Amino acid sequence: MEKGLQVAIDGPASSGKSTVAKIIAKRFGYVYCDTGAMYRSVTWAALENGINVNDTKQVIDLARRIKITFEPGQPDQRVFVDGHEVTKEIRTEKIAANVSAVAAIPEVRAQMVEQQRQIAQTGGIVMDGRDIGTTVLPNAQVKVFLVASAHERARRRYEENLQKGLATQSLDELEAAIKLRDQKDSTRKVSPLTQAKDAILIDTTSLTIDQVVDEISALIKKNQDN
Ligand code: CDP
Ligand code: CDP
């Protein structure tokens, strides 16, 4: 039987991580874990409870109290906070604007990383985020770092918002918001967004989803044969 590998997919916002991660997981029968959804869920819970995301102590207490769970769903995996479905609410621009502050808190990260490692124990896993190859699964057999120009990523997010019926900012506003979030995620002290030394860089700016999926699938097959 083929081994179930650990596949780590990192990169900035809208580089295509979750889209390709979901397809890869399905293709290889692996579990998919969207770690960004976990930080978004803590952010949602903070805002819902009237907690300022810069009030570190309160956010840490909250992250320890809440239970984030996933269930299979179409087209997106369903996400729950203490049994309440937040799948759609965590994708709003309000959450996107606040999530980097929450994700910069070391204690919140420690809490999330522990849960992510537990999920990864199941065997074949595709996990996407910012620090999977560097921190969460440093021994992952396949590590990729997806990038694309900020302009192209804003265009993708704009189209996605329209398709999902989410309220959207203009293209220029989205590009500015994405650049700001990248900057915050890349410069934080703990586990900043950075390419692991042994990760393969894929620039998806002018690649189709299928091309990216094929490139990562080839890496997985090569590792399965080893
Ligand atoms: O989908 P998108 O790329 O917009 O973001 P996401 O993957 O849902 O992640 C939302 C935010 O969570 C990021 O901007 C990071 O601040 C944080 N995050 C993180 O710090 N570490 C991860 N492993 C995943 C997400
Ligand atoms: O997870 P992440 O924020 O990195 O990006 P995503 O949510 O997977 O991708 C954002 C949007 O870009 C989705 O609507 C994808 O269909 C689209 N996309 C694309 O058009 N071309 C690619 N090569 C990858 C993603």
To the nearest 10 degrees (0 to 180), the angle between helices 93-103 and 171-187 is: 10
Structural element, H or E, at residue 73: none
Those residues whose C-beta lies under 8 Å from the C-beta of residue 54, and which sit 6 or more positions away, are: 101
pLDDT in tens, 7-16: 999 999 999 9
With bands split at pLDDT 50, 70 and 90, how would you rate the model's confidence at 111? very high
Give nearest CA residue, ligand 1 atom 7.
36
d(CA 202, CA 146) in angstroms, rounded, equals: 5
- Starting from the CA of residue 132, give the closest ligand: 1
- Residue 130 CB–ligand 2 contact under 6 Å: no
3-state DSSP percent of the chain in helix, strand and coil, to 5: 55, 15, 30
Is any atom of ligand 1 closer than 6 Å to the C-beta of 109?
no
- As a whole number, mean pLDDT of residues 141-151 equals 97
Angle at 122 between CA 212 and CA 7, to 5 degrees: 20
Is the ipTM here above 0.85? yes
> What contacts 206, CB < 8 A, 6 or more positions away?
none
Instruction: Supply the pLDDT for residue 2.
Output: 63
Compute the distance from residue 60 Cα to the ligand 2 centre, in Å: 30
